[in-house]
Amino acid sequence: MIKNIAIFASGEGTNAQTIIDYFKTSNQVKIALVVSNKSTANVLNRAKNNNIDTLIIDKHSFTETNEVIDVLKKANINLIVLAGFLWMIPENLIKAFPNKIVNIHPALLPKFGGKGMYGMNVHKAVIEAKEKESGISIHFVNEKYDEGKIISQHKCEVSETDTPENLAQKIQQLEHEHFPKVIENIL
């Protein structure tokens, strides 16, 4: 039986593209839907270029109704993958897909997590704290930002000469290398 994934993303979609490419030839896993909260997000173009259905959501329908849940259930979604999706996941969606929503965070949780800790904000905080290592955390999503059960973490060294920009490149390499494999293992 084919497992269907919905990818939620708010921006460029490089992690989404890596996941799409990874499963492109799979006969067991299908990227069935890409969901975004921004109509101008490049991830939507990536989806269209790969013949993947898209859904653009607004805050009200996402947080106050079951419209998104209904679409996900109609698409027989087995796993929701957050790949740079910046909104908090509402409780009704978490309850509808228990332990079926995964997120990737660009730091070693529980450090450098929580509201506002995404993208360059995280990398700047890691550098300012003079951390010797950083990495990625792949975790299940619960009702609080970045506090769900950790599935796996992968590390990289932070040197004294690293800038937030080149740390971001190291982190992105880890994301692209590990996220699709972890998703495959979950499924």
List the catalytic residue out of 60, 105, 123, 176.
105
For the chain, how many residues are written?
187
Catalytic-residue membership of 105: yes
**Residues annotated as catalytic (active site), given as ranges:** 105
